[in-house]
Structure 1
Amino acid sequence: MSDLNKLGLAEARDALRKGETTSVALTEACLSEIDGAGALNAFVHNTPDLALEQAKAADARMSADAPSLNGLPLGIKDLFCTKGVASQAASRILEGFKPQYESTVTQNLFDAGAVMLGKLNMDEFAMGSSNETSVYGDAVNPWKIDDRKLTPGGSSGGSAAAVAADLCLAATGTDTGGSIRQPAALTGITGIKPTYGRCSRWGIIAFASSLDQAGPMTKSVRDAAIMLEAMCGHDPKDSTSVDLAVPDFEAALTGDIKGKKIGIPREYRMDGMPQEIEDLWAKGREMMQDAGAELVDISLPHTKYALPTYYVIAPAEASSNLARYDGVRFGHRAKLDQGDGITEMYEKTRAEGFGDEVQRRVMVGTYVLSAGFYDAYYNRARKVRTLIKKDFEDVFAQGIDGILTPATPSAAFGLGEMADADPVQMYLNDVFTVTVNLAGLPGISVPAGLDANGLPLGLQLIGRPWEESDLLNLAYALEDRAGFVAKPSKWW
């Protein structure tokens, strides 16, 4: 078989089980592609020796009843701690950090037989929507329409670029305010954020603990179902991990959504929304109706408060979580002048170790948590978050099975184009996605079309809590109707 790296998880799994190829051949095809894709800056810590060792072990145990991901090569976002392999969260402050433990999600993937090709680029500490805050430099979108380099989205930009460019069969991502779904939409791939608590957060470097959730970034909805099942499971090491049986997500993909009620929230018709996004959303509604679903106009009245609420709660939690990076226990420590004490060490280390965006969010978070402002900002944001969650609960109580919205307010933009803009302009990229994190719901982005310039656009489906099976089936029907098969032309 040729072009092995272009296979999806389901195709590669079936080919392996039939003996049509080997894990070593698949892995070598991906490693070769990674070597030639330096221009994308997607992989930042390569692990070819480990990958081939895992591939050989997978080939040795290959059988019809081998684990679900046996022998399938994946990329791992640099936010996941991987034993003995650099895990930096794309930050200088974690330079040289090699954990002596494995995150629960990556351990689950390895237990399912997966092969790790290396670690993927991302925004520093997952803070960003364009992958421009990384200590490794920008990740680059494999889609290109002119001489500009385009963003792959963020924070899981390296994961999105690697999957879209066929450097790996699939990749892990994390989503705090849209960091799986937004880059998936901008690169023409599928990305699902499961219900909060479905995947363990243990061993994933924390940004905002009540919002962070891991998920797969894949070439199809079926692949997302296969990989998500392997990633999930109860973990006593994570107090927010829910002890629920993990369904067979792939078995749920029947494509039959007749009679399902799909909510169309009126509040997502934003002022100034590009016509192309509005048109795509209208096409999505037609596709769902064509598949037999019933469309229902719904209201999520507190949506307009979602972004300000998110940008109070997430920085507040980041400020607390990042206090541990002090130059004492691990990672970077600044060189000190004679006479410097511990306060100067903290100050210099954090000033050198954290990039501008991380410093900005830590300062905002510290401010909203400070005496005198705690009630005015943080407590008020928590109350609004409860109202946003109740909006969704009320809608689902009316019998709505899923909600269809745009995934992003635009197609991919050029790297550097927002560098001098007000940071709030960048934050607006998360306008359609943050509500899902605030409410702890599952959401999926499915590629659904191209804009006038030929860049991919995605649609988002939001599901009921813990009902990823139904959500994936709705996405499967949408994917089938959209028939999106476009791929970026290779220029790198």
Structure 2
Amino acid sequence: MSDLTNLTLAAMRDGLREKSFSAKELTQAHIAAVEGARELNAFTVETPELALAAAETADRALADGAAKPLSGIPLGIKDLFCTEGVESTAGSNILRGFTPQYESTVSANLLADGAGMLGKLNMDEFAMGSSNETSAWGNVINPWRGAKGETLVPGGSSGGSSAAVAARIVAAATGTDTGGSIRQPAAFTGITGFKPTYGRCSRWGTVAFASSLDQAGPMARDVRDCAIMLRSMAGFDPKDSTSLDLPLPDFEAALTGDIKGRRIGIPKEYTIDGIPAEIEALWSKGADMLRDAGAEIVEISLPHTKYALPTYYIIAPAEASSNLARYDGVRYGLRETPDGGNLIDMYEATRSAGFGDEVKRRIMIGTYVLSAGYYDAYYLQAQKVRTLIKQDFDRAFEQCDVILTPTAPSAAFAAGSKSDDPIAMYLNDVFCVPASLAGLPAMSVPAGADKDGLPLGLHLIGNALEEEGLFNAGYALERAAGFSAQPEKWW
């Protein structure tokens, strides 16, 4: 039974249709794997009963020849997605005990396509973090270990998703990406993560961090599994005003691996000071692999790249400050009522107890840059720079089809090593943030390892709405790199 959890999602789907095993058997194998991996702290809530109920429905559909695209596939859902009747906390104390009476559009789409939910996956509080160390439910542990056996972070904010996929306890998982929160943890755990074009996936029912940046996407073993997941996750939703009302491509059908004649752009500005030599070497090797597969490598320029990180850390906290104002102890979630206190005292006590340090830090930054005396100097200027960054990409895609960069400036680092240095933590997203600001699709593909054997990812960025070409380039890179390493089981 445990061998079933080592299959890719595509192999699970095909095995179910060929009656090699049942959906119930597949789900029971994953439930056992989840129970055996609690040391990773990947889940905030486990829902084996929901997964088994979905498996029974799937087995009936499979027997009747009426299987849906994901019938019988057991998934993990990031705790940022509201799930009907199941606690949804966004990793925060302020939402502890909140049980939505509705289902997010993305999770509803997956369930409608036959998937089962094994539970809610742990995450950085309100998706604010790059290491999954800000969760009110405790740190998620990377299934990979350091060279000396030290505990590593799984990346963030979708660290529970990345750890669960890498540890083979879910077939695939949902993530969200605001400034790299799918791609960076995918790189840290040796899996594939895909952020689609802004608007491909509905944001309805997903707890908001920064509304102009947040985008759901899949995290899975490989490129094909991500393509299968995204087809079910994406689609127009009238409940989300930013949702794209466009035909949905068959992303899996795009995976030919033929990239002959495609132009791969290498941005010269992404060679930053202090980048480890092994990251640069892998980046160069990735370009060589794509060239050998028939692509043309071209140098491009993204001159405003150096301003992307400070721009992001003005815009994202500003939107967070606005979005998180609703958590005040009045309507739902935590309420702290000091003896003899008034309404303002209740607000202050609730938000002080409910939010963690990183969330408070970003709320304060965001409130500051939106304040009357500083709005023009900070927030308005950041929006102008964001436009320049988008224009850089528009010009670059006149010269190339896909852009290749590293995903992160290092492999997974030791837990606690950057917790006291917010700037060092924020730098983890330096390669991912520009595509987020421009609303572009991007993905991380595991392509090699560092000197300690820890996985490293390469990052591909596509033009808006060109997910098919991006998936195919990722598929070609995946096949050329041949990365197949898995963490040794210690949990």
Counterpart AA for 2:465: W
1:215-294 matches, within 5 Å, as 215-294=217-296
Deviations 1:58-108 (A, max 9, x none): 111115552111110000000000000000000000011000000000010
Residue type of the alignment partner of 1:350 = R
Deviation of the 1:29 alpha carbon: 0.5
Identity of aligned residues (%): 67
The one-letter code sitting in structure 2 at the alignment partner of 1:139 is V
Query: Which whole-Å deviations, capped at 9, do the CAs of 1:311-337 have from their partners, x for residues lacking one?
Result: 000000000000000000000001321
Q: Deviations over 1:276-299 (max 9, x none)?
A: 100000110010001000000000
Query: Which residue of 197, 203, 206 corresponds with 2:205?
Result: 203
Which residue type is aligned with residue 151 of structure 1? V
SS of the residue corresponding to residue 322 of structure 2 reads helix
For structure 1, the 5+ residue unaligned runs are none
> 1: distance between equivalents of 2:66 and 2:483?
32
Measure the CA separation in 2 of the matches of 1:64 and 1:217: 28
For 2:2 and 2:307, locate their aligned partners in 1 and report how far apart those are by CA, in whole Å: 50
Hey, what's the Cα distance between the residues in 1 that align with 2:403 and 2:398?
13
2:446 pairs with 1:447:
yes
Partner of 1:404: 404
- Deviation of 1:397 after TM superposition, in Å, equals 2.2
Instruction: Find the aligned partners of 1:148 and 1:259 in 2 and give their Cα distance.
Output: 44
CA distance in 2, matches of 1:222, 1:291: 18
Q: Indicate if the aligned counterparts of 2:338 and 2:346 stay in contact, CA closer than 8 A.
A: yes
Q: Which residue of 2 aligns with 1:426?
A: 425
Which residue is 1:135 aligned to? 136
* Alpha-carbon distance between aligned partners in 1 of 2:65 and 2:289, rounded to the nearest angstrom: 36
Find the counterpart in structure 2 of residue 486 from structure 1.
Answer: 485
Matched residue, 2:105: 104
Q: Is the 8 A contact 2:337 2:345 kept in 1?
A: no
Tell me what 1:7 maps to.
Answer: 7
SS in 2 for 1:223: helix
| Aligned residue in 2 for 1:164 | 166
Distance 2:121 2:234 in 1: 21
How far apart, CA to CA, are the structure 1 residues paired with 2:234 and 2:347? 37
TM norm structure 2:
0.99
Which piece of structure 1 moves more, 176-185 or 143-152? Answer: 143-152
Q: Counterpart of 1:300 in structure 2: which amino acid?
A: L
Q: 1:92 to 1:166 in 2, by over 3 A?
A: same
SS at match of 2:30: helix
* 1:301-380 aligned within 5 A: 301-338=303-340, 340-380=341-381
* The 10-residue stretch of structure 1 (64-73 or 37-46) with the greater mean CA deviation from structure 2: 64-73
Evaluate the alpha carbon distance shift between residue 481 and residue 346 of structure 1 in structure 2; reply closer, same or farther with a 3 A threshold: same
**TM-superposed deviation, 1:471:** 0.3
Q: Which residue of 2 aligns with 1:473?
A: 472
Separation in 2 of the partners of 1:6 and 1:168? 10
RMSD: 0.8
Once the two structures are TM-superposed, the CA of residue 6 in structure 1 deviates from its matched residue by 1.3
Please list, as runs of the form range in 1=range in 2, the aligned pairs for 1:377-392 lying within 5 A after superposition: 377-392=378-393
Secondary structure at the aligned position of 1:26 is classed as: helix
Listed as ranges, the gaps of 5+ residues in structure 2 are: none
5 Å-filtered alignment, 1:50-199, equals: 50-62=50-62, 66-145=67-146, 146-199=148-201
AA in 2 matched with 1:158: G
State how far apart, in whole Å, the 1-side matches of 2:337 and 2:91 are: 21
Amino acid at match of 1:198: R
Check conservation: 2:2, 2:33, Cα contact below 8 A: no
SS at match of 1:314: helix
* Closer/same/farther in 2, CA of residues 188 and 64 from structure 1, 3 Å limit: farther
1:153-201, CA deviations, whole angstroms, 9 ceiling, x for partnerless residues? 0000000000000010000000000000000000000000000000000
Structure 1 residue 420, shift from structure 2 partner: 2.4
Establish whether residue 438 from structure 1 lines up as the match of residue 437 from structure 2.
yes
Q: Secondary structure at the match of 1:216?
A: strand
Q: Which amino acid aligns with 2:409?
A: P
Cα distance in 1 for residues equivalent to 2:306 and 2:240: 32
* Alpha-carbon distance in structure 1 between the residues aligned to 2:66 and 2:175: 27
Q: How many Å separate the matches in 1 of 2:417 and 2:379?
A: 32
Q: 1:65 to 1:282 in 2, by over 3 A?
A: farther
Mapped to 2, the partners of 1:277 and 1:64 lie a distance apart of 48
Judge conservation of contact 2:23–2:58 (CA < 8 Å) in 1. Answer: yes
- How much does 1:147 deviate? 2.9
> Residue 213 of structure 2 contacts residue 436 of structure 2 at CA under 8 Å; is this kept in 1?
yes
Larger CA deviation: 462-471 vs 59-68: 59-68
Partner of 1:39: 39
TM-score by length of 1: 0.99
Is the alpha carbon distance of 1:130 and 1:57 closer, same or farther for their aligned partners in structure 2, counting shifts above 3 Å?
same
**Distance (whole Å) between structure 1 residues aligned to residue 108 and residue 441 of structure 2:** 22
Equivalent residue letter for 2:92: S
Q: How many residue pairs align between the two structures?
A: 489
1:26 alignment partner in structure 2: 26
Name the CA distance, whole Å, in 1 between partners of 2:425 and 2:96.
27
| Contact 2:192-2:445 within 8 A present in 1 as well | yes
